[in-house]
Amino acid sequence: MSTSKVVYKGNLRTECTHLQSGSTYITDAPIDNNGKGEAFSPTDTVATGLANCMLTVMGIKAENLEVNLEGTTAEVTKIMASEPRRISKIEVQFTMPKGISTKHQQILEHTARTCPVHFSLHPDIEREITFTW
* Structure confidence by residue, pLDDT tens digits, 52-104: 999 999 999 999 999 999 999 999 999 999 999 999 999 999 999 999 999 99
pLDDT bracket for residue 19 (50, 70, 90): very high
Rounded average pLDDT over 35-44: 96
Instruction: Say how far apart CA 29 and CA 11 lie, in whole Å.
Output: 9
Task: Decide: 117 and 56 in contact? Cβ < 8 Å.
Answer: no
Domains of the chain in start order, with CATH, are: 4-33 (no CATH), 42-132 (3.30.300.20)
pLDDT bracket for residue 114 (50, 70, 90): very high
CA distance readout (Å), 57 to 16, 63, 64, 72, 82: 24, 10, 11, 13, 32
Amino acid sitting at position 57: V
pTM of the model: 0.95
